[in-house]
Amino acid sequence: MARVLSGKWVRDEVLKECEPRVARLREIGRAPGLAVVLAGDDPASEIYVRNKVKACEQLGIYSEQHTPPATATTGEIIALVEELNSRDEIDGILVQMPLPAQVDSQRVLLAVDPDKDVDGFHPLNMGRLMTGRPGPRACTPAGVMELLRRYEIPLKGKRAVVVGRSDIVGKPQAMLLMHQHATVTICHSRTVDLPAVAREGDILVAAIGRPAFVTGDFIKEGATVIDVGINRITDRAVAEDLFGDNPKKMAAYERNGSVLVGDVHPRDVAKKAAAYTPVPGGVGPLTIAMLMVNTIDAAERRLTS
C-alpha cells in the first residue's frame, strides 16, 4: 500500500522549531515583523491571508494587514510597498496575488526590497536560488523539500520530473531538487509525449493547475508523487468519476457542493506510487509554515548582522 505523506505533521514540526527562534529574537530586540498587502476582494486570497495572520499570532510574530481597495492603482500599491520597505520593524513583505486586473503585478513585485521578499519571487532572489546563494526561497517548493527531507525520501542521483514551469512553483522546485543532486526534467503542456517523460521520474512533482490531469500513465511504478495542485470540483459527474468509490469525499461534496482534488488523479496515484501527498493535507499546510521560516530568517539577518 502506498505511503501517504502528511504535510500537517511536517508543518507542525517546522512551526515547533520556529518557536525558540522567535523567542531569541524577542530577547535581543523585537519579534519578527510581517506585512501582508491584500488588494481587492478575492475570497480565496482573503482566507489564505487570514491563515497567515493566524500562524503569526501562534508564533508571536508581529503582523499587519494592508487592504488597498479593488480600485487601487499600480502607483498607489507601489507607494505602500516602498513605505513598508523603509520601516525597520517590518522584516517581510508579502503581496498577495492575484492583484486587481488594472495593477501591474510585475512592477509591484519588483518594488519589494529583496531582503524583505519573504515569498522569494523577486528576480534577485530567483538568481540567488539559481546560483545556490543564501536567500528566501519560494514557499511552496521549499515546503516540498522539507517534506521530502523529513520523510527521508532519497534524492541524490534520482530522476525527478516536474510537470509545470511557473516562476512560483515549477522553476524553483526544479532548482531546489537539482541542488540536492537529483537529475531534473521540467516538462509542460507542450512537451511531446508528456506521460512518457513523466514516467521517467523516481520523484514526480505535479504543478500544472489542472484537476486530476496526471493519471496513472504519468506515474512510474513505485515513484514518490508530490501533488502541488489544489482544484475545486463543483460538477457532480466529475466528482463521482474521481471519488465514486470514496464515501468520505462524496459526503464532503454533498455537504459543500464541491470537493477538492489535486493535479494528480487520486485513484491512480494510490495504486501506482510508493508514496504520495494527499489533497488537501499534503503540500498545502507547508506553504504558510515556510512563509514563517522565511520571515524569521529575514529578521535574523537584519537583527544579528
Residues tagged active-site: 52, 96, 119
CA pair distance 99, 45, nearest whole angstrom: 10
User: What is the C-alpha to C-alpha distance for residues 21 and 24, in angstroms, rounded to an integer?
Assistant: 5
Give, as one character, the DSSP assignment of residue 115.
G
DSSP 277: -
Q: Are 9 and 149 in contact (CB under 8 A)?
A: no
DSSP element (H, E) containing 295: helix 284-304
Length of the chain: 305
